[in-house]
Amino acid sequence: MPETRPPIDLAGLDIAKLEACIAQRKLPPVEQWHPERCGHSGMRIARDGTWYHDGAAILRPAMVRLFSTVLRREADGRHMLVTPVEKLEIDVDSTAFRIVEMTSEGQAEDRRIAFRLDSGDALLLGPDHALVIVDEDGASPRVAVRHGLEAELSRPVYYELAEIALAEGGEPPGVWSNGIFFPLAAR
């Protein structure tokens, strides 16, 4: 059976085309589903982004992408896999996603930055997807994804952002995207 949500590839896409691609991707309405908690899924997302079930790594990327579409974070901080009829807890060592690639257009206040997640999805840094630096055993740069979920920036992507910030010379150092300034310092 063909995959219905193949990963987004940033290569060769300008930000406008990427925005259109993101808008076309439909996600299940997990925010509308409120079944009772059924238990634990036996699943865990490791700090490096590897998904496990009963201790064994899930080796099919399409399966991981599918599970990622029904993931949300509850107000109490727990991560849940949610369908219309069941809600199962999933352990998350750090964040649900990792940002593994970025692209940027424009400069300073006119800059727009897009990220690709390890789930194959993409997002634009801006008001709905804010960047914060959390001080958690060292600085952890994170972007809001959806439904309370976050993505941690991989080290190479963070270094790309730092290069932009240093080249633009802002004080405090940071980056602009979609008209918003995001400082690269822990809050």
Spatial CB neighbours of 28, under 8 Å, sequence gap ≥ 6:
69, 70, 83
Top CATH class of 26-92 equals alpha beta
Using CA atoms of 32, 65, 140, 160 in order, give the dihedral in degrees to the nearest 10: -120
Residue type, 14: D
Task: Map out the domains of the chain as residue ranges.
Answer: 26-92, 97-183
**C-alpha closest to that of 142 among 87, 89, 105, 92:** 92
SS3 content of the chain, % helix, strand, coil (to 5): 20, 40, 40
Q: What is the pLDDT along the chain (187 residues), one digit of tens a residue?
A: 466 778 888 888 899 998 998 988 888 999 999 999 889 999 999 999 999 999 999 999 999 999 999 999 999 999 999 999 999 999 999 999 999 999 999 999 999 999 999 999 999 999 999 999 998 777 889 999 999 999 999 999 999 999 999 998 878 899 999 999 999 886 6
List Cβ neighbours of 154 (8 Å cut-off, separation of 6 or more): 98, 99, 100
For residue 41, the Cα-to-chain-centroid distance in whole angstroms is 21
CATH number of 97-183: 2.30.270.10
Question: What's the CA gap between 97 and 82, in Å, rounded?
Answer: 17
Q: What is the pTM of this model?
A: 0.91
